[in-house]
A and B are shown apart, each in its own frame.
Chain A
Amino acid sequence: MISDHTNAIAIAGLNKTYETGFHALDNINLEIKRGEIFALLGPNGAGKTTLINAVCGIVRPTSGTITVAGYDIITQYRQARSTLGLVPQELTTDAFESVWNTVTFSRGLFGKPRSPAYVEDVLKRMSLWDKKDEQIRRLSGGMKRRVMIAKALSHEPEILFLDEPSAGVDVELRKSMWAQVRSLSETGVTIILTTHYIEEAQEMANRVGVINKGKLILTEDKNTLLRKMGKRHMVFALRDPVSVIPMELSAYPLTLEDDGSKLVLAYNDQDDNDISEVLDHLKSSGIRPRDIYSRQSSLEDIFIQLVEA
């Protein structure tokens, strides 16, 4: 079979019912393009890990098909898995192994010839070079997480899964991890990350998929999503606070904020002429804005709208 050059991953009609009878994935259809940074966003228990594990061969799909780089994960598991690197959610490492050995081991598992130079490069990129002979149990949590990323990169994967990469990681480390992921992406690696931090998806992703209760609610280009779903708000900061919205403005979707010192108009890209009308009305009722600025809703707001819908 010829490798599909547009899709890194194609999932069709994927269902997963665990032995307990729990229906963790419900008819998932998803295509992820090569070179993308795709963020799978969803609350705890949504099925993010189950989805990743199904692609990586750790969870057996109940039905549906998955191809990775054009290879079927069941019938062509060798080719499919060779292209995948997985950094699981839990910090699971061999306590007594050295950093160097565990990364070399991972490379061997995936059938790649020994390459000390490549392993060195990965360890340097992960800022682990000075820890290469250290036993893993002596490392901090953040370093362990980087060891797991180094293991996943050891066999030069085309597609990298990061399952909740910043769970339990402090803000500073999170920022440096994001930078590392971005530079990986620049080398052409497709990146799929799961997160329940919206900030992370917003910061990193080109495309976002929202999953809830095993259902993929939507997949969308991040900016399109923000534009489509994101209500904009025009904020009129007032010189003199008002206690009520003037009668003549009651037809507009206005709210008062900060004890009446801000008048906020919700609007969409489509009906932007509202703004000038509101301005006219403000002028005629003698309300003088000190400042006018627009505010965009974050993925967080969108996410809450979607999940609660």
Chain B
Amino acid sequence: MNYRGILAIYKFEMGRTLRTVGQSIASPVISTVLYFIVFGSAIGSRMQAIDGVPYGAFIVPGLVMLTVLGQSVSNASFGIYFPRFTGTIYEILSAPLSFIEIVLGYVGAAATKSVIIGTIVLATAGFFVPLHITHPLWMVFFLVMTCITFSMLGFIIGIWADGFEKLQLIPLLVITPLTFLGGSFYSINMLPPFWHQVSLANPVVYLVSGFRWSFFEKGDVSLETSVIMLLTFNALALAIIGWIFKTGYRLRK
């Protein structure tokens, strides 16, 4: 393993984040506050508890997921797209690094940043509603694995994209709708049977459900299902990345 190479990429990416640390943190914090003002206080006060959980607290896990999914995808996709765009990728490609090592560097950094931001969002939420996390270890597991999986997805998008428009298209057209429809702000059990079935095809449902379970011991699907689905997505993303490096898709001409 070229550990120093992995560390070099990781530190480079973290350094890039640190240069814009203000905006990296400000925007998720501001949107969390806004969500709480609108959903938590204004609307939430008139909503009945879901599965015995007050609405303000109910949306916390969903909100954290909403943020980290978006952050993971955009950080990781930008992280690998940018050197492709400027041409500095030549150095990564000519270095003695395996694809696993390159992925560890880029995805590791993007996931780290997302975990940090997710934690900040969680802390911000703590100002609005009392936080109670029943299974902290499961909470960390879901948070970290989700950040890793979606950073891998972001990495794939960053390699696939051949322009800045495409880089923003997927998050806008796919990730945002999936997270909003994935039960971030409601339980999919509240949906009519047909839409409930449709929702089960949405991968985000399993992430939000598992994550929420770690807080309240209540989820839309069972814990086992959430874990299996999460690991499946992770393996799928890894397989696609493996294929990318094997074929040189969009990387090696």
List A residues at the B interface (Cβ < 8 Å).
18-19, 53, 56-60, 77-82, 84, 86, 88, 90, 92-97, 101, 105-113, 151
Contact = CB atoms under 8 A, between A and B. Distances in A.
Contacts of B91: 86, 106, 109, 151
Mostly, the B contact residues are helix
A86 B90 contact: yes
Given A92-B90, A151-B91, A78 B2 contact: yes
Interface string B3-45: 1110111011001100100000000000000000000000000
A94 B9 CA distance: 13
B252 interface: yes
Nearest to B252: A60
The 4 closest A-B pairs by CB, nearest first: A108-B8, A92-B87, A78-B96, A109-B95
B90 A58 contact: yes
A90 B253 contact: no
Contact of B4 (A18, A80, A112): A112
A92 B86 contact: yes
| Interface residue tally on B, bucketed by range | 20 to 34
B94 interface: yes
A194 B253 CA distance: 20
Contacts of B96: 77-82, 110-111
A178 B12 CA distance: 32
A117 to B, nearest CB: 17
A58 B93 contact: yes
A229 to B, nearest CB: 34
B253 A18 contact: yes
B97 interface: yes
Contact of A93 (B2, B11, B88): B88
A58 B253 contact: yes
14 contacts: A56-B90, A58-B252, A59-B252, A60-B252, A78-B96, A82-B96, A86-B91, A92-B88, A94-B86, A96-B16, A105-B11, A107-B8, A108-B7, A109-B9
Contact of B5 (A77, A84, A94, A108): A108
Given A58-B252, A111-B2, A111-B96, A105 B90 contact: no
B248 interface: yes
A84 B253 contact: no
Given A82-B96, A90-B87, A109-B97, A59 B253 contact: yes
Nearest to B85: A92
B94 A58 contact: yes
A96 B18 CA distance: 12
A105 B94 contact: no
A159 to B, nearest CB: 12
Interface string B60-93: 0000000000000000000000000011101111
Contacts of A59: 252-253
A113 B94 CA distance: 18
Given A92-B87, A111-B5, 9 more contacts: A78-B2, A78-B98, A81-B95, A82-B96, A95-B86, A96-B19, A108-B4, A108-B5, A109-B5
Nearest to B97: A109
A109 B96 CA distance: 8
Nearest to A53: B253
Nearest to B86: A92
Contacts of B86: 92, 94-95
Given A56-B94, A57-B93, A81-B95, A110 B5 contact: yes
Contact of A57 (B3, B9, B16, B252): B252
Contact of B94 (A18, A84, A92, A93): A84
